[in-house]
Structure 1
Amino acid sequence: MKLELIIEELGLESLSKTSHKNGSLEKPLNKHIEEVRSISKVLARKHGLTESLDILDVLAEWHDIGKLNPAWCIDEDQKPPHSALSAYLFLKYSEKEDPRLFYFILKHHSSLVQVPLNIPSICKNVVGKIKYKIDQKEALNLIFKELRKFKLSVEDIKSNVDLVDLFGTFKTADILSAMFEEESRISKQNIDLKVELLKERLRDYVRSKNLKFDENKWKIFTEMARTDRDILFLAPTGWGKTFAALTVAVSKKPSHIIYVLPTITSIRKMRQSLQKLLSGVGVEENYYFADTKKLKRLGIPEETDIDLDLFISRSFISPVTITTLDQLLLSFLHVGKYFLKRYHFRNSVFIFDEFHLYPINGLYLLLYFFKKFNEKFKYNMRSVFMSATIHPVFRSLINQFIAPREFEFLQEYKKKRRYLYSLEENDITSDEVLKQIIEKSKLGNVLVICNTVEKAIRVYLLLKHNYKMKNNMLLLHSRYTYHDRRKKEEQLEKLSTKSREFIFISTQVSEVSLDISFDYLFTELAPIPSLIQRFGRVNRYSDFIDNINVNITYPEEINKTRFYPYDEKEIKFATSTLSELEYKIKNEFELIERLKDAPMLVDNAELNEIEKYLRKWEDDTRFFFSIDLKDEELNRLLKFRDTNTALIIPGCFTSDVLEILLSDRRYKSQLVKEYFVPVPIWWLFEKSGYIYKEKNLLFLSSQRFLYSQDVGYFDSEKLKKFVDLIDICVKSNNIA
């Protein structure tokens, strides 16, 4: 029976009924159905989903039929649920028999969570939500039988993946149409940039930096592009790895290019670079704070397509997306509405920049999913793993899963000596070292890297108050609210353009993707891999130097502190290696070569636990169901970050955040994220602190752990002598 006749027979309203509204714009259901059908097929074909497209017709036609219930009205705030009625009508009247389609219609506004196969649950959560004149007993019987069939149908894992990805294209189309973005170019845009045009863009970009375009390197880029295998690409900092990776990616005509960075520190600068090189192709960001950043940039005017912008920031729909490792893992692990993201990975090229900085557990998970989805589910994902250094453990792990073709240019380090270092016996906070920092700043820009947040704060306060260095000095570490960190990063961009007298004090956050060249570096002793990263921030655009531009200091607390960031074996190896090469290092390759002998802490028992968890995960999800796993839980279970941290809101901002939550403002979650700070988990259990939980947000009030917009979140026990010098955040200290 035709849908129109079914609707008429049941006493439902017609398909011309308004189903969506945006301001003064209204859309009838029949138009929404056609838009969803059209957009979803465009997305499906773009990602190689060319079979079973009739499923998209079925989902488009039936998913919102429940809105034809006369009790449902677009202008009413309290509307009766429509998904359960839509699913029931599909089940009873559709000619298409597939229990998974019934389930998709039932759940098309939620994550794909399992529906308990018991009568009380079905009565409450399905039949009880059908607010229309139906035979309840008949409905319960039909739905129970269908859910029993559904439970058996999800045993077919291969078809699950394809079907969920089709559902993802349908749901994306549903969202775009509901936003009145039926002609949205973002869903239709492809990466059709010619390699020859990219070459011209690269040439112009290099010239803008007053550098010479290297034709020999371009030949290497094009040779790399010809390989059909995954690529492991090793070359020095400044060699042109990003250019090479983009050449490879563009040549493959992928559905998307996904550029993965170890941290969010340099995402904005990377986006600016990619927008220049790939002009005309959409470049977006996807990381935890991306929607918050976009909201602050766009503002919240009355009439705008900001909903679309925020949706783009939460998905991988853009032709080019810059993201972080955790966002990929959350999508592969089926966290939340993963189906809106994962299908974009099909036929895409992934560029993994500075992958040696990924936590080993995170890299293991990534490689596991890459192999699984390429071999079992034919995702055809291609990858370029790039690094300036590599430990044998990382090379072995990558080869274990994907066996890439290697392009190695580490011998180029033999032509470079961009740093000469000296080892200092003094602590970085000593008067001797602080005076050296000031003297060097008169000659150029100085980078200071400490191993802990409290040590970095101490250096900053000593220079600021004891040596009156108030101007042209900046402190940045991981323990700021997102709002304050973003402001600091903007200041960094401006101050780094100075030719001298800028002192930047930081922690390990400066080891990663910091595209700024400093003249001098003062760093605390750290493991060799970390020091190589830190050395890479100095004299980046030169090849050789004869004078000392790096001073390595010995932390006085290294043998006193129980929870020092680095392992004793790593520090001992670094000390002996650096002592041997001090003053006489001929080229950078000498230190790179020693890297292969450096101790690498790999917890095989932990990796075995991850394997065990993944086997359970496969059984639980059947590559179909979503999991409701909070970020902190994922961190604790799988440890894909270096340290265990929790996102909290400093107690001094409690009233500001509660004011947002209790208001009728739009985009509350994005506004609240401005106040988040990552802190060590053990802070939450310290006796002097008080944890307050509201709407799944953690607020920390403590006499010991204090927040300052200038120096960030700190442990006052470790900075007792300096607390009076710090402008500490108090109540109602709004950051906006």
Structure 2
Amino acid sequence: MTFYAKSEGKETIREHTDRLLHNLNLLKNAYGYKFMLMDEQMWKLLEIAVQYHDVGKANTVFQNKIRQAIRESMLETDIETNVPHNYLSVGCIPLKQLDLTKEEERLLIHAVGYHHEREQLPEKEMIRNVLENDIKKQLPQLSEHMRLPMTEKFSYRFIDRLLNRYTYHDGEEFWKYVMIKGLLHRLDHAASAHIDVERDVEKSIYINVNEYMKKQGFHKNDLQQFAERHSDKHVIAIAQTGMGKTEAALLWIQDDKAFFTLPLRVSINAIYDRIKEKMGYDAVGLLHSTSVHYLVDKEENWEELKQQSEHFAKKLLLTTIDQILKFPFYYKGFEKELAAMANAKVVIDEIQAYEPRIAAMLIKSLEMIHHVGGKFMIMTATLPTLYLEELKQRNVINDDEIAIGEFIDTSVHRHRICLRSECIEETMGEVLDLGETSQVLVIVNTVRKAMSLYDKFLDCDTQAPVYLLHSQFTQEDRQLLEKRIKQFNENNERGIWITTQLVEASIDIDFDYLFTEMSTLDSLFQRFGRCYRKRALDHDSCNIHIFTENISGIPRIYNEHLVNESIRLLEQYNYQIVDERTKVEMVKQLYDRERLKGTSFLKEFEDALYMFDNLDPYGMDKREAQQKLRDIQNIQVITRKIYDQIEHLFEQYKKEKEWKKRLKLRMEIEKKTVSVQRYVAEKYVSERLPKPFDHIYIAEVEYDFNREQLKGKGILLDKPSSNFS
């Protein structure tokens, strides 16, 4: 008799299992020696789990579902109960014949029993009914189909054992379970997608980055040599902007599988292009919430790339932390992501860019990666002391296993600061004068303040062109503005750009003067990096002006205590050069635990760590974990006027059958949306769009932008459209 596993391609259980075995051999041959927790007995257990994981699909209810889908005749049965096949599979394993210890049996039972995480918990009577009255009759044929021995007599103790789930209180056995179950997930998901679990195993980014540097005439600097020398350890590298941190990380990765994370999608896309096009390394994948939009425009084989990236099959994956490092939430199925780290290296770029709760999750995830045998590298311009201390306390880093280095060039002075106890609006005349002969960047903390300032500048009589850039333009208009600011900078045009913290890390620009509202030091020093970024200061004037009165964005964006402490630390450098060493030292002082006592920053960080240390495993699903990481305070809106202009695209989408064309239409629609804060936009929202666009809301407000002149303010959340009452 034929037992089907999937309707697609009429794939049998044996054929599907063989795909997993192929992937198991591929994984073991490629990286087996890298898995610290996988000895020969563990590989044997994993192989048994693979062999038996889907045998429960032989139940007649499941077979009839597939037969109906592939239009084959139905099988006769009295059974109507639908019991998840993963529980039935466990019942068929001939445990007595396998000569396993009690703990090995438990590992096997749980890996197979939970290789699908179900809402429906194992229920003894339902499982007994299906095994005794259905599967029992099929056992001889099933055994023949699978070429495997099946149990001779059903025992139901496994159900009670399944209900006693593993937790971190099980000590070392918990981590073994993470490996067996996580690798089974990886093998199963890759087999179902009909792809290899690992690709391009023989390709080495190390070779490509060396050739690229040689071709460019680059010599490895101290940071890059340090990373290369310590490729067998965890690494923490504190290095200023422009030190070649990306190359350093790639040299540290050597020939290993790796995950490279950055906070901003636009930065990830830029590194993807650089690695693929300039370094000629094609074993690289891309994974973030809009990566498919990017790949569709760039790659002919984007579908294949998307799939390989989603299943972590690529040798090097560029990604965001919400895609791969959320396992401290212990959501159902977290083991897949964590097991993928066990033979790999993980790069965390700019850890200081994350808010305290996310930083706590990263600290916990590094602890867990260390436990399963993975390696990590933290690359950052400034490292809060608090984070380093926490890693030490958790025994994640000790002298034998970690290399910590600071790479700071104090020979080139770029920034002389002027602290001004006035609000930024009071210096418009000064900015306008400078804008007629120089490139002036103005950074404020909120979009509202940026718009208000832009209006005031437009009212002035000046020859200097004034532009505005913030996050509340439509996606397509924001791309135009980001392209324009780079072009403006490269062409050495004269004028003024008013922006928000959007430009802190994602846009590579080098202006003559920076006028900025005060923020916390780590954020402020990122802003410094947009002024005299690639050159030494060649005059005695202050090129950085910092305004400390009437600061916007407190306390909603920046912690008031940290901003005030930042001002105190900066005061001693007024009218002086602030070099790279000084910046690093000041951030260390700012984020010292003593200085943070009593602050909401420290409370958020410690509360989040306490939560991760005491979470009940399997209490949430993957989507919930992802939501906790993303900024769920923001919603996507489309203004009524823009919606009316593109309503035909929604109609086309409904009618379109070919999914590639549907994807392109979806991307076209998404480009017209703006991400705004829920509490600001809610009062102007008139309706929510139907599925699959139910994440988009129609806002009855105006939108201001001239695409020819690249001028305008974006979405006007304080200006309702005329038909809104």
Q: Do residues 116 (structure 1) and 124 (structure 2) align? A: no
CA gap 1:426/1:289 in 2 versus in 1, 3 angstroms: same
Give the corresponding residue for 1:682: 679
The farther-off stretch of 282-291 and 675-684 is: 675-684
Give the corresponding residue for 2:315: 319
CA gap 1:176/1:442 in 2 versus in 1, 3 angstroms: farther
Q: Which of residues 224, 240, 243 is equivalent to 2:244? A: 240
Compute the RMSD of aligned alpha carbons: 4.8
Secondary structure in 1 aligned to 2:265? coil
Secondary structure in 1 aligned to 2:164? helix
Given that 1:521 and 1:549 are in contact with CA atoms closer than 8 Å, whether structure 2 keeps it comes out as no
Q: What does residue range 720-735 of structure 1 map to in structure 2 within 5 Å? A: 723=719
Whole-Å separation in 1 of the counterparts to 2:66 and 2:610: 50
Q: Letter of the 1:95 partner, please give it.
A: P
Whole-Å separation in 2 of the counterparts to 1:167 and 1:596: 40
Deviations 1:325-368 (A, max 9, x none): 33333244244654443322112222222212222222222222
Whole-Å separation in 2 of the counterparts to 1:65 and 1:485: 54
Give the corresponding residue for 1:5: none
Give the corresponding residue for 1:456: 450
Q: Do residues 148 (structure 1) and 160 (structure 2) align? A: yes
Given that 2:200 and 2:315 are in contact with CA atoms closer than 8 Å, whether structure 1 keeps it comes out as yes
Given that 1:113 and 1:626 are in contact with CA atoms closer than 8 Å, whether structure 2 keeps it comes out as no
Given that 1:474 and 1:492 are in contact with CA atoms closer than 8 Å, whether structure 2 keeps it comes out as no
Shift of 1:309: 3.0
CA gap 1:149/1:588 in 2 versus in 1, 3 angstroms: closer
Whole-Å separation in 1 of the counterparts to 2:89 and 2:164: 19
Give the corresponding residue for 2:356: 360
CA gap 1:644/1:168 in 2 versus in 1, 3 angstroms: closer
Deviations 1:37-56 (A, max 9, x none): 20233235526345233235
Deviations 1:650-672 (A, max 9, x none): 46477859758866653879757
The farther-off stretch of 528-537 and 518-527 is: 518-527
Given that 1:337 and 1:626 are in contact with CA atoms closer than 8 Å, whether structure 2 keeps it comes out as no
Q: Letter of the 1:324 partner, please give it.
A: T
Q: What does residue range 517-532 of structure 1 map to in structure 2 within 5 Å? A: 517-532=510-525
Give the corresponding residue for 2:575: 583
Whole-Å separation in 1 of the counterparts to 2:178 and 2:578: 56
Given that 1:421 and 1:549 are in contact with CA atoms closer than 8 Å, whether structure 2 keeps it comes out as yes
Whole-Å separation in 2 of the counterparts to 1:385 and 1:322: 15
The farther-off stretch of 149-158 and 452-461 is: 149-158
Q: Which of residues 617, 633, 650 is equivalent to 1:645? A: 633
Q: Which of residues 22, 28, 39 is equivalent to 1:38? A: 22
Q: Letter of the 2:501 partner, please give it.
A: Q
Shift of 1:409: 2.9
Q: Percent identity?
A: 17
Secondary structure in 2 aligned to 1:582? coil
Shift of 1:471: 7.6
Shift of 1:627: 2.8
Give the corresponding residue for 2:407: 409
Q: Which 5+ residue runs of structure 1 have no aligned equivalent? A: 1-7, 136-140, 299-303, 636-640, 717-722, 732-736
Given that 1:420 and 1:546 are in contact with CA atoms closer than 8 Å, whether structure 2 keeps it comes out as no
Deviations 1:175-204 (A, max 9, x none): 4444444xx5x7232265385664332233
Secondary structure in 1 aligned to 2:536? coil
Q: What does residue range 146-225 of structure 1 map to in structure 2 within 5 Å? A: 146-152=158-164, 154=166, 158-159=172-173, 161-181=175-195, 184=196, 187-190=198-201, 192-193=203-204, 195=206, 198-205=209-216, 207=217, 213=219, 219-225=225-231
Whole-Å separation in 1 of the counterparts to 2:632 and 2:222: 45
CA gap 1:309/1:461 in 2 versus in 1, 3 angstroms: farther
Q: Which of residues 527, 538, 555 is equivalent to 1:534? A: 527
Whole-Å separation in 1 of the counterparts to 2:685 and 2:73: 41
Give the corresponding residue for 2:376: 383
Deviations 1:88-132 (A, max 9, x none): 764565435768767766766x5x2453355799799x99xx999
Give the structure-2-normalised TM-score. 0.75
Deviations 1:10-52 (A, max 9, x none): xxx367x98433xxxx766654432232023323552634523
Shift of 1:371: 1.9
Whole-Å separation in 2 of the counterparts to 1:363 and 1:27: 44
Secondary structure in 1 aligned to 2:308? helix
Given that 2:111 and 2:180 are in contact with CA atoms closer than 8 Å, whether structure 1 keeps it comes out as no
Whole-Å separation in 2 of the counterparts to 1:62 and 1:152: 23
Given that 1:511 and 1:530 are in contact with CA atoms closer than 8 Å, whether structure 2 keeps it comes out as yes
Deviations 1:443-500 (A, max 9, x none): 45443211111122334455567669898945132x4555554555455555553232
Given that 2:52 and 2:93 are in contact with CA atoms closer than 8 Å, whether structure 1 keeps it comes out as no
Q: Which of residues 327, 333, 337 is equivalent to 2:329? A: 333
Give the corresponding residue for 2:100: none
Q: Which of residues 552, 555, 565 is equivalent to 2:557? A: 565
Q: What does residue range 469-618 of structure 1 map to in structure 2 within 5 Å? A: 473=467, 475-477=469-471, 479-480=472-473, 482=475, 485-486=478-479, 488-492=481-485, 494-501=487-494, 503-548=496-541, 550-552=543-545, 554=547, 557-558=550-551, 563=555, 565-585=557-577, 587-598=579-590, 600=596, 601=599, 603-617=601-615
CA gap 1:257/1:662 in 2 versus in 1, 3 angstroms: same
Q: What count of residue pairs does the alignment treat as equivalent?
A: 658
Deviations 1:293-340 (A, max 9, x none): 334556xxxxx8654333334343321122223333324424465444
Give the corresponding residue for 1:274: 275
Whole-Å separation in 2 of the counterparts to 1:729 and 1:382: 58
Given that 2:286 and 2:306 are in contact with CA atoms closer than 8 Å, whether structure 1 keeps it comes out as no
Whole-Å separation in 2 of the counterparts to 1:18 and 1:392: 52
Give the structure-1-normalised TM-score. 0.74
CA gap 1:297/1:142 in 2 versus in 1, 3 angstroms: farther
Shift of 1:535: 0.8
Shift of 1:77: 13
Q: Do residues 95 (structure 1) and 101 (structure 2) align? A: no
Secondary structure in 2 aligned to 1:38? helix
CA gap 1:84/1:293 in 2 versus in 1, 3 angstroms: farther
CA gap 1:101/1:224 in 2 versus in 1, 3 angstroms: closer
Whole-Å separation in 2 of the counterparts to 1:82 and 1:165: 32
Q: Which 5+ residue runs of structure 2 have no aligned equivalent? A: 97-104, 140-152, 706-711
Shift of 1:546: 1.8
Secondary structure in 1 aligned to 2:418? strand
CA gap 1:87/1:143 in 2 versus in 1, 3 angstroms: farther
Given that 2:258 and 2:344 are in contact with CA atoms closer than 8 Å, whether structure 1 keeps it comes out as yes
CA gap 1:265/1:569 in 2 versus in 1, 3 angstroms: same
Shift of 1:383: 1.8
Deviations 1:346-402 (A, max 9, x none): 122222222122222222222223224433xxx222122222223433332343333
Whole-Å separation in 2 of the counterparts to 1:314 and 1:730: 44
